[in-house]
Amino acid sequence: MAIRTFIEAIREGMGDELRRDPAVIILGEDVGKKGGVFLATDGLWAEFGDDRVIDTPLTESMIVGASIGAALNGLRPIAEIQFADFIFPAFNQILSEAARMRYRTVGGATVPMVIRAPYGGGVHGALYHSQSIEAFFTHVPGLKVVIPSTPYDAKGLLRSAVRDEDPVLYLEHKKMYRSVRGEVPDGEYTVPLGRAVVRRPGRQLTVIAYGLMVHYALEAAERVAGEGIDCEVVDLRTLRPLDRETLLGSVRKTGKCLVAYEDNRFMGYGAEIAAIVAEEAFDYLDGPVSRIAGPDTPAMPYNHILEDWFMLSPAKIADAIRKLAAY
Amino acid sequence: MTSELAAAAGLADADLVAMYRTLALARALDERMWVLNRSGRAPFVISGQGHEGAQVGIAWPLRRDHDWVAPFYRSIATCLAVGMTPRELMLAQYAKADDPSSGGRQMPGHYGHVGRHVVSVSSPVATQILHAVGIALAAKIRGLDQVAVAIMGEGSSNQGDVHEALNFAGIHKLPFVFVVENNGYAISVPWERELSVRDVASRAAGYGMPGVIVDGTDVLGCYRASRDAVERARSGGGPTLIEAKVTRLTGHSSDDQQTKYRSEADLEEGRTHDPLPIFREQLRVAGLLDASIEGVLAAEISALVEDATAFAEAAAEPDPASGVDHVYGDPAANEPPPPWQPARGSVADRVIS
């Protein structure tokens, strides 16, 4: 097995799918000769050419809307939104069109497409290059939402997303692109959508996380382990459809649940997790379902002190674990 | 012996009669839909009356089940012209389970047909232009020899998606035709308040494509413009914008009373642009219609409307349990949230014990 960075795994996943299936195309801003602003598509234009790797104008609604049409006519587009913060001009196309096409045609027309978007902060990206957007989109039935946390999963989930018959929003934490490395098999493998994984087994408290927060939660779990707090860390990997079994199984075992998410706390994805745990595992709980999340400011500020104040960290998660463990 | 009228359009006489029949059938179905609405049997109707001449003329050059249309909520005659049946359109009006457009999930007028390559209509306007452009992109990449047509009103044409779509279609010379059925009103707002230019077609220049204006009462003029645009698109010449000047003979929908914002003189003037009597007269003059042929056609159309109405009226309603179907392709992902149940006894049980 080779060691790959997170972004290398994503790039390999796209390359493999482009090679495997001539129906797969990529379109987005700067995805061609430049290879994307993060170099996620680096080298793909040279290998697959203008028809398969298409530079678009600065038109997010078009990138998604034309991908919907291309999917209706037999292609499997991978649409890149340069930063998740810029996805909102395409919100109508995603919500009203991509996610509803199957439902409103009673299964007659489907939209197999992937929308890739780098999200997340801690990279000095300020208000418009740091945002977490999952809460807006996990609210949408008909859309699948994936957030990988390891290079292995990034490649395996991307392949599954490309092969899926429904639209998939595939969010990549940009801070992980080059900072996270891991083993990635050379051959064919996939990671199924809709399956969470326990990253660290533990007995006393469950931390639910996804994306970068999985790594922070694992680090926090190590920190408190020395204090005698034994945490289990669940990596959701697919936010919708949600793997309730793994999530509830863990909480029923540990009796305590902390949800860690980088997004604004109010109405964030963790609120739904908390509600599900409260409804379906109430009798097993030994403490309040808790959330550690970003502050309810409009977005992440630029200045490094302010950014650190906004961002979750292993230390902040460890504090939240201690507080809940002591309940 | 082909009539001069047909010969000038490069069509056979039978084609012209078939076009007229489609136009008249669309009108008759549309009128029946209003009757159903006003008699309390259909909560909503949205109409194509006044647009049908342009719709039939423009749809006629398309290759059925091969080319694509992304229509809008007035496209009743377009849908008939590309092969949807009166029964199918009436099933949509009644929102019955077997409605091929949406199985009764969408409001009437939101047509779609997978086999006929009619892209499902939604209510947020102008989104379909991007789907048609994407379909055209796929056709070009896959070498499918297809043309994609997006159709909407001039009101919808102001949406940002239109700008993004036309720009992209122009850059890549996609096999795409953009049709604007300009009836002068966006619900209640007259064109002077919704367009900064007199003609939507003049905007085509900004996207590197021809903009063509046609009179929506001139069915064969619409046909010729569409035929040229479709041929141009299919042969790699790139997209065309066709603006058809039409009239809206009804309110925006069954929930709109257009006398509130349109003068009687305006409405009267609009009625002079009804394509149905104009095309009929044209065919009479050409010797293609007479009282006898019209009588046969009228009886045939009447029977089709009666049949479609009775068929849709008697058709099964959707099963409420089917409401959760087709959210995702993977049935396991479609499961609705389970109703709330305590996992182990109830809170009350625990308190008592």
Instruction: Write out chain A in H/E/C secondary structure.
Output: CEEEEHHHHHHHHHHHHHHHCCCEEEEECCCCCCCCCCCCCCCHHHHHCCCCEEECCCCHHHHHHHHHHHHHCCCEEEEECCCHHHCHHHHHHHHHHHCCHHHHCCCCCCCCCEEEEEECCCCCCHHHCCCCCHHHHHCCCCCEEECCCCHHHHHHHHHHHHHCCCCEEEEEEHHHCCCCEEEECCCCCCCCCCCCEEEECCCCEEEEECCHHHHHHHHHHHHHHCCCCCEEEEECCEEECCCHHHHHHHHHHHCCEEEEEEEECCCCHHHHHHHHHHHHCHHHCCCCCEEEEECCCCCCCCCHHHHHHHCCCHHHHHHHHHHHHCC
Residue B346: predicted pLDDT: 45
The verdict on A109 touching B (C-beta cutoff 8 Å) is: yes
Tokens of residue B322, six digits? 């089917």
Can you give the pLDDT at residue B348? Answer: 46
Q: How many structural domains are present in chain A?
A: 2
Residues A148-207 pLDDT 10s: 999 999 999 999 999 999 999 999 999 999 999 999 998 899 999 999 999 999 999 999
Find the Cα–Cα–Cα–Cα dihedral A176, A182, A187, A191, rounded to 10°: -60
pLDDT at B333: 79
Catalytic residues of A: 129
Which phi and psi (to 5°) does residue A240 adopt?
A: -150, 125
Question: In chain B, which residues have their Cβ closer than 8 Å to the Cβ of A28?
Answer: none
Same domain (yes/no): A10, A136: yes
Q: Is residue A191 part of a domain?
A: no
Residues A101 and A245 in one domain: no
Instruction: State whether A165 and A221 are in the same domain.
Output: no
Between A56, A65, A102, which is nearest B329 by CB? A102
Could B326 and A92 be called an inter-chain contact, meaning their C-beta atoms sit closer than 8 Å? Answer: no
Domain assignment present for residue A234? The answer is yes
Q: Which residues of A touch B156 (CB under 8 A)?
A: none
Residue B346 lies in a domain: no
pLDDT for res B350: 43
Considering only CB atoms, which chain B residues are within 8 Å of A24?
A: none
Chain A residue numbers with beta carbons less than 8 Å from the beta carbon of B141 are 25, 51-52, 70, 75
At B180-214, the pLDDT tens digits run 999 999 999 999 999 999 999 999 999 999 999 99
- A208 and A152 inside one domain: no
Overall number of domains in chain B: 1
- Indicate yes or no: CB of A68 within 8 angstroms of CB of B332: no
Q: The CATH number of the domain where A316 resides is what?
A: 3.40.50.920
pLDDT for the residue B336 = 58
What gap in Å lies between CA A24 and CA A36, rounded to an integer?
17
Amino acid present at A36: G
Return the amino acid letter for A302. Answer: Y
Separation in Å, CA of A103 to nearest CA in chain B: 5
pTM attached to this predicted model: 0.96
Q: Which of A25, A69, A141 sits opposite B131 (nearest CB)?
A: A69
Query: Hey, which residues 170-209 in chain A have their CB within 8 Å of chain B?
Result: 194
Q: Does residue B349 form part of some domain?
A: no
State how far the Cα of B126 lies from the Cα of B117, in Å rounded to an integer: 18
In this prediction, residue B337 carries a pLDDT of 52
Which of A59, A73, A103 lies at the smallest CB-CB distance from B326? A103
With a cut of 70, which residues of chain B have pLDDT below it? 335-353
Last residue of a domain, one of A153, A184, A215: A184
* Predicted local distance difference test score (pLDDT) of residue B353: 37
Q: Residue B281 belongs to what domain range?
A: 4-328
Q: Find which of A73, A143, A247 to mutate to test the B interface (most B CBs within 10 Å of its CB).
A: A73
Secondary structure class of B294 (helix, strand, coil): helix
A163 shares its domain with A261: no
Residue of chain B minimizing CA distance to A59: B164
Could you tell me which residues come within 8 angstroms of residue B269 by beta carbon, excluding any fewer than 6 positions away?
none
| Residue B56 CB-half CA count within 13 A | 27
The token duo for B120 is 């499902």
Q: Do B344 and A283 touch (CB under 8 A)?
A: yes
Sequence-distant (6+) residues with CB within 8 A of A134 are A119, A145, A147, A171, A210, A239, A263, A269
Show the low-confidence residues of chain A (pLDDT under 70): none
| Chain A CB contacts of B100 below 8 Å | 108
Residue closest to A27 by CA, chosen among A71, A80, A74, A82: A80
Q: What is the pLDDT of residue B334?
A: 73
User: How big is chain A by its Cα radius of gyration, in Å?
Assistant: 19
Contact B135 A25 (CB under 8 A): no
Tell whether the torsion through CA atoms of A158, A162, A165 and A168 is positive or negative.
positive
CATH number at residue A54: 3.40.50.970
Residue B190 CB: number of other CB atoms within 10 A? Answer: 13
Using DSSP, state whether B242 is helix, strand or coil. Answer: strand
Per-residue model confidence (pLDDT) at position A317: 98
Q: What is the DSSP letter of B97?
A: T
- Touching B: A residues 28-67, CB under 8 Å: 51-52, 56-57, 59, 61-62, 64-67
**First vs last C-alpha separation in chain A:** 43
At B249, which CATH number?
A: 3.40.50.970
Number of A/B CB contacts below 8 angstroms equals: 167
